[in-house]
């Protein structure tokens, strides 16, 4: 992710550079090559639990949520890393090279914490970030319960088939509702030229 400040108007452009889930149609790849390569800390829990899954739009939605939670916990307003001792860092397990299922469990636990989603600089956003985390936590729990129910009824539960559940359109709907409820879908500080980050 990159940030560029526009000197003439004070606007800020944010660019997300992540091609882990992209493939060139013109280039053939081995059948056993996974469709993602890295950035594990920001991957969707469902993808960590079932790496063989085909790409779903909900994976991108959840990756956006993890990126946002990461920023408000680690950075200040100048884009500098907030000072947090490593032994007290709540996200250190994301980079501890755990197994994929362990990383998924760690991230689910992080979503369920009662507080502490922001650092001091972003503390005014604590309630909104907590609501976002809890909303996604309960969505994940519902997904898990559905899988358990299928197993209980003696049906085959395929973790790699998630298009009809959380990682389909439900993910977009949930995030869109959160943005509307918290007014994150409205521009609060448009730049002077009314072009970048401006309401239309």
Which tens digits make up the pLDDT trace of 125-175?
999 999 999 999 998 888 878 777 777 777 655 554 454 578 888 888 888
Mean pLDDT on 178-196? 76
Q: How many domains, in total, are found in the chain?
A: 1
Residue 40 lies in a domain: no
Which 3-state string (H, E, C) describes the chain? CEEEECCCCCCEEEECCCCCCCCCCCCCCCCCCCCCCCCHHHCCHHHHHCCCCCCCHHHHHHHHHHHHHHHHHHECCCCCECCCCHHHCCCHHHHCCCCHHHHHHHHHHHHCCCCCCCCCCCHHHHHHHHHHHHHHHHHHHHHHHHHHHHHHCCCCCCCCCCCCCHHHHHHHHHHHHHHHHHCCCCCCCCCCCCCCCCCC
Residue 172 lies in a domain: yes
Residue 189 lies in a domain: no
Domain hosting 85: range is 52-182
Q: Write down the pLDDT at residue 130.
A: 95
Residue 133 lies in a domain: yes
**pTM score, two decimals?**
0.73
Mean pLDDT on 57-84? 81
């Amino acid at each position: 992710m990159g940030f560029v400040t526009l000197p003439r108007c004070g606007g800020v452009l944010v660019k997300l550079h992540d091609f882990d889930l992209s493939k060139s149609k013109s280039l053939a790849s081995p059948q056993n090559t996974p469709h993602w390569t890295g950035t594990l800390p920001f991957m969707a829990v469902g993808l960590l639990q079932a790496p063989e899954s085909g790409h779903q739009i909900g994976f991108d939605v959840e990756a956006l949520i993890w990126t946002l939670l990461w920023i408000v916990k680690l950075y200040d307003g100048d884009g500098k890393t907030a000072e947090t001792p490593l032994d007290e860092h709540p996200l250190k397990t994301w980079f501890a090279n755990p197994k994929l299922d362990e990383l998924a469990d760690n991230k689910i636990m992080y979503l369920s914490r009662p507080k502490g989603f922001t650092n001091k600089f972003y503390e005014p956003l604590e309630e909104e970030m907590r609501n976002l985390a809890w909303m996604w936590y309960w969505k994940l729990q519902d997904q898990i319960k559905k899988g358990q129910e299928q197993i209980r009824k003696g049906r085959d539960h395929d973790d790699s088939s998630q298009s009809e559940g959380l990682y389909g359109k439900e993910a977009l709907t949930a995030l869109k509702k959160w943005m509307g409820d918290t007014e994150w879908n409205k521009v609060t500080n448009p730049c002077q030229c009314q072009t970048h980050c401006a309401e239309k």
